[in-house]
Amino acid sequence: MAPVYSDATTDHYEIIQRTAQLDILPSLRTEAWTYHGTFPGPTIRARSGRATSVRHRNELPHPTVVHLHGGHTPADSDGYPMDLILPIGTTTTPQRSHGHGTTGTTAAPAYGERTYLYPNRQRAASLWYHDHRHSFTGPAVWRGLAGFHLIGDDIEDALPLPRGDRDIPLLISDRSFAVDGSFASEACSTGRSATATSTSPPAERFDVIIDFSAYSPGTSVRLRNILDTGPAADIMRFDVTGSLRRDDTTVPDQLAPLERLDPAAAVAERTFLFQLGPAGWSINGAPYQPGRALAQPRLGAVEIWRFITDFHHPVHVHLDPFQVVSRNNRPPGPFDRGWKDTVDVRPAEAVEVAVRFTDYPGPFMLHCHNLEHEDMAMMADFTVT
């Protein structure tokens, strides 16, 4: 997506949230909720240190909230689940929910439009934006509200990796359809969206290099899901058409310098128990209550957070990434290295992470990113002070 305009510090975008008829299945049309008429929504390419401003206009039949997943974002643009964008034409104010953090109020609902400001003060990363409305995230993402926000920086530019038209963002999701081509209605009422958008490792992103040089032109290479059979097993096909005249791509031993958070420097340890109890999906025995903060970490302080599960939960923390310290009292696993904003915690596991929140005080979120669990109140606030 191209900016509407740019100034000295910021690129400004405008996105319309609206229904659209998409060509997904042969000879059928599928109505989707979209960002700007497409699924995935428009890809925003940003630069580290240069701000992005996105004005969202809601022409959908329901309120929405926008969250930049993995974004280092101030609280008022983070997509708190009660900070609604009401549909265009709304004239009545919805009853206010419980407040943010210690302020006692939520942000005023936006009538038709809201502008989100993303400073992009973070390293190169593949981020994505999606709806984050309380109790309705799963159905909204299921219907199509998701898109890429890709941040580049000078360190990434200097790496000998594929670039240009060989740097390809891919979103892999599954959907069920009715016979008329519409998204199957039971998906939004039964929580099917959880498995559609949050199967294992959910909400995480990986940058991978695919080397096709071993295959002669005319070869077809398939990407398969070995955990499933039938249509869900065949993900996509690559057709090898020929060789580049010159390809100097290599994968260096180190992509970027990594600052290590020292667990010994932690000023606090906190435990968050993700479980199914008498009241439903919960964190530390209680379902989500907006405005009730389970933690109040201080800006710049290192803390150890311990996630313990009874079921399979991908745990996502807003504002800042973290580093895995241990998994089940053992060293981190092969996919636990580096900075993370989501960690996959399998049944009866305990994962310890070192986290440090910087720059922006205020209320933020901790939750399971299985969207069904998130919508059924497996969330919590924490307030950075």
Sheet containing 379-384: order of strands? 342-345, 313-317, 362-368, 379-384
Q: Which of 115, 134, 166 is the last residue of a domain?
A: 166
Say yes or no: 35 and 151 in one domain.
yes
Q: 228: which residues sit within 8 A by CB, 6+ positions away?
A: none
Q: Please indicate, yes or no, if residue 120 is contained in any of the structural domains.
A: yes
pTM score, whole prediction: 0.92
Q: Please indicate, yes or no, if residue 242 is contained in any of the structural domains.
A: no
User: What's the average model confidence in pLDDT over 356-375?
Assistant: 96
Q: Please indicate, yes or no, if residue 246 is contained in any of the structural domains.
A: no
Q: What pLDDT, on the 0 to 100 scale, is given for residue 245? A: 72
pLDDT digits (tens, 9 = 90+) for 179-193: 999 998 644 444 333
Say yes or no: 38 and 159 in one domain.
yes
Average pLDDT over the chain reads 91
Write the DSSP string, 220-289.
Answer: EEEEE-TT--GGGTEEEEEE-----S-------S-SS--PPP-GGG-SEEEEEEEEEETTEEEETTB---
pLDDT over 90, % of the chain: 79
Q: Please indicate, yes or no, if residue 198 is contained in any of the structural domains.
A: no
Give how many domains the chain has, as a whole number: 2
Say yes or no: 271 and 136 in one domain.
no
Say yes or no: 23 and 146 in one domain.
yes
Say yes or no: 161 and 42 in one domain.
yes
Say yes or no: 157 and 28 in one domain.
yes
Q: Please indicate, yes or no, if residue 350 is contained in any of the structural domains.
A: yes
> Is pLDDT above 50 for 196?
no
pLDDT digits (tens, 9 = 90+) for 220-234: 999 999 988 888 898
Q: Which of 128, 147, 166 is the last residue of a domain?
A: 166
Q: Please indicate, yes or no, if residue 365 is contained in any of the structural domains.
A: yes
User: What's the average model confidence in pLDDT over 124-152?
Assistant: 96
Q: Please indicate, yes or no, if residue 100 is contained in any of the structural domains.
A: yes
Q: Please indicate, yes or no, if residue 233 is contained in any of the structural domains.
A: no
Say yes or no: 14 and 123 in one domain.
yes
Q: What pLDDT, on the 0 to 100 scale, is given for residue 247? A: 82
Q: What pLDDT, on the 0 to 100 scale, is given for residue 104? A: 37
User: What's the average model confidence in pLDDT over 341-363?
Assistant: 97
User: What's the average model confidence in pLDDT over 165-182?
Assistant: 91
| CATH code for the domain in which residue 281 is found | 2.60.40.420
Per-residue confidence band for 201, with pLDDT thresholds at 50, 70 and 90: confident
pLDDT digits (tens, 9 = 90+) for 91-125: 877 665 444 433 434 578 999 999 999 999 999 99
Q: What pLDDT, on the 0 to 100 scale, is given for residue 187? A: 44
pLDDT digits (tens, 9 = 90+) for 246-273: 788 899 999 999 999 999 999 999 999 9
> Is pLDDT above 70 for 26?
yes
The range of the structural domain enclosing residue 40 comes to 5-166
CB distance 140 to 166 below 8 Å: no
Cis ω for the linkage preceding 290 (within 30 of 0): no
Task: Tokens for 196, please give them.
Answer: 């559609």
Q: Which of 142, 166, 190 is the last residue of a domain?
A: 166
Report which residue type is found at 25. Answer: L
User: What's the average model confidence in pLDDT over 152-160?
Assistant: 96
Say yes or no: 12 and 143 in one domain.
yes
**CA-CA-CA-CA torsion for 4, 10, 14, 17, nearest 10 degrees?**
160
Question: % helix / strand / coil in the chain, to the nearest 5?
Answer: 10, 35, 55
Q: What pLDDT, on the 0 to 100 scale, is given for residue 91? A: 82
Residue 113, by phi and psi: left (phi above 0), alpha (psi -120 to 50) or beta? beta
